[in-house]
Structure formats: structure tokens, C-alpha cells
């Protein structure tokens, strides 16, 4: 497990898995489902999680699942959303990634937490804004961590990716570094940091890890037949 370089509020814990510990924890990538479930149980034990994570069915949407409002008999897996939020102790927010951004958010007093899965579509369409809307805590009193994701040097994109960010004032030679004609290197972590800042979040930490170049992480662009890491946050 990698423990982030993020200073966590009291009563909040967070973790990121790797390709080795415990390995792939996604059931939708062609892995043996029984082995995936075994690794998920191993994850709960190793991190001493207060409960099993609520695993989302991520579709690059802007849907946010409020775990605090879920009925006790709601399923533990397959919940269609790309972010989860809770203000309750012993609930675990978790998302799966392999180049997309994992973003964790917590109130400075530890009262509220969230985990976000954000690719370029989610960033452009408002997954961060939708998640922040669940918080009662003012944005200035939130802290955010942007986890391992593909870095700009490995993420060449076309105009279809750049275009949605133009109207939001997020495009410059840092967020979209020009390459060859009609191609740019997109910096997803920078885009996420700017969106968080636009929404009033002042305390933002970047992990600095690139999933493409760092073999400890899965990368879809490096190998489309890959697993997924989990990024988790929970209140104790």
C-alpha cells in the first residue's frame, strides 16, 4: 500500500493500492472474479477498514453517491456513480483507476469525506463541482489530494479533449502543452487543481505519481489489458 503525502484531518484515513499490494481489485477487467473478491477481502483486513468499501460502477459520469443516505440493504457493489461522499463514520469511499485521476476530499474537521474518479470527461462535465455540492463545510475549509494519474508527458490528446475546457478558462500552455499539429499533452492533475481552486478549495496536495511511468500502478495507456488500483478514504 502507498500512504499518501497528504496531511489528513483527525479521524480520517486514506490509502492507495498498488499492482503488488494487493494487485487488481476491479471485477470488470477480465480477471478471475473469485481472485478479485479475495483481494478485496485482503484489502479490508490489511487496512483494518471499518467496513467493506462501496464499490462503484464507474462510467465517466458526473453522478455522486451519498453513502450517508443509502438504505442499509443497498448493494455493496455495482452502484452507478463516479464519486462517493459520506459524513458518517465507518463508511469507506473507494474508487478504481488506471490513468484517470483519483481525488480525495475531506473537511478540515474530519466531518465529511469524498472520493472522486475523474477522467477528462468527468473533469470537463463537472464531477468535482457535483461532489463539492454535497459538502456542508465551506470549500475554504476543505482539503484535497490528487492521486496517481497519467502525467502530461504521456497523455497526448486531440482537439476533442481540449475543446470542452476552453470555455471554462482552463486552457493554456501548461494544462495543454502544444505538440504536433492538432495534438497536445494534457495535464489532468493541473486541470483538477485549477477546478478545485475555482470552487474555493485552497488546500490541495498533488501526489506527483505518474501511472504510465511508475510500474507500481496500472496504466490503461501503457497496457489496455490491465487491472485497477483503489484509492480509499474513510472516517474512524
CB of 125 within 8 A of CB of 63? no
Is residue 227 in some structural domain? yes
Is residue 16 in some structural domain? yes
- Other CB atoms within 10 A of residue 34 CB: 8
Q: Is 79 helix (H, G, I), strand (E, B) or coil?
A: strand
Average pLDDT value for the chain = 95
Give per-residue pLDDT as tens, 123-148.
999 999 999 999 999 999 999 999 99
Nine-digit cell string for 46: 490489511
> What spatial distance separates the first Cα and last Cα of the chain, rounded to whole Å?
19
Is residue 211 in some structural domain? yes
Residue closest to 135 by CA, chosen among 98, 183, 84: 84
Q: Is 118 helix (H, G, I), strand (E, B) or coil?
A: strand
Is residue 2 in some structural domain? no
| Residue 4: pLDDT band with limits 50, 70, 90 | low
Q: Rounded CA gap, 149 and 21, in Å?
A: 18
| Residue 156: pLDDT band with limits 50, 70, 90 | very high
Is residue 120 in some structural domain? yes
CATH code of residue 149: 3.60.140.10
Is residue 207 in some structural domain? yes
Number of domains in the chain: 1
pTM: predicted TM-score of the whole model, two decimal places: 0.96
Give per-residue pLDDT as tens, 55-89.
999 999 999 999 999 877 777 777 899 999 999 99
Phi, psi angle pair for 185, to nearest 5°: -100, 110
- Beta bridge partners, 102, equal 117
Is residue 77 in some structural domain? yes
Reduced 3-state DSSP string for 156-225: EECHHHHHHHHCCCCCCCCCEEECCCCCEEECHHHHHHHHHHHCCCCEEEECCCECCCCCCCCCCCCCCC
Is residue 5 in some structural domain? no
Domain holding 122, by residue range, is 12-235
Amino acid at each position: 500500500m502507498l500512504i499518501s503525502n497528504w496531511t489528513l484531518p483527525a479521524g480520517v484515513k486514506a490509502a492507495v493500492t498498488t499492482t503488488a499490494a494487493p494487485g487488481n481489485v476491479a471485477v470488470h477487467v477480465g480477471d478471475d472474479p473469485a481472485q478479485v473478491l479475495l483481494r478485496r477481502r485482503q484489502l479490508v483486513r490489511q487496512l483494518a477498514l471499518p467496513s467493506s468499501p462501496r464499490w462503484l460502477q464507474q462510467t465517466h459520469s458526473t453522478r455522486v453517491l451519498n453513502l450517508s443516505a443509502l438504505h442499509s440493504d443497498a448493494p455493496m457493489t455495482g452502484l452507478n456513480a463516479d464519486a462517493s461522499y459520506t459524513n458518517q463514520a465507518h463508511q469507506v469511499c473507494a474508487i478504481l483507476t488506471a490513468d484517470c485521476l483519483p481525488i480525495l476530499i475531506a473537511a478540515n474537521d474530519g466531518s465529511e469525506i469524498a472520493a472522486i474518479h475523474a477522467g477528462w470527461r468527468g473533469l470537463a462535465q463537472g464531477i468535482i463541482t457535483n461532489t463539492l455540492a454535497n459538502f456542508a463545510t465551506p470549500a475554504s475549509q476543505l482539503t484535497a489530494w490528487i492521486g496517481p494519474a497519467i502525467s502530461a508527458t504521456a497523455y497526448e490528446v486531440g482537439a476533442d479533449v481540449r475543446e470542452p475546457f476552453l470555455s471554462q478558462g482552463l486552457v493554456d500552455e501548461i494544462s495543454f502543452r502544444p505538440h504536433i499539429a492538432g495534438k497536445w499533452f494534457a495535464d489532468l492533475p493541473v486541470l483538477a487543481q485549477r477546478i478545485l481552486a475555482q470552487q474555493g478549495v485552497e488546500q490541495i496536495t498533488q501526489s506527483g505519481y505518474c501511472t504510465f511511468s511508475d510500474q507500481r500502478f496500472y496504466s490503461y495507456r501503457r497496457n489496455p489489458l490491465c487491472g485497477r488500483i483503489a484509492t480509499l478514504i474513510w472516517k474512524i
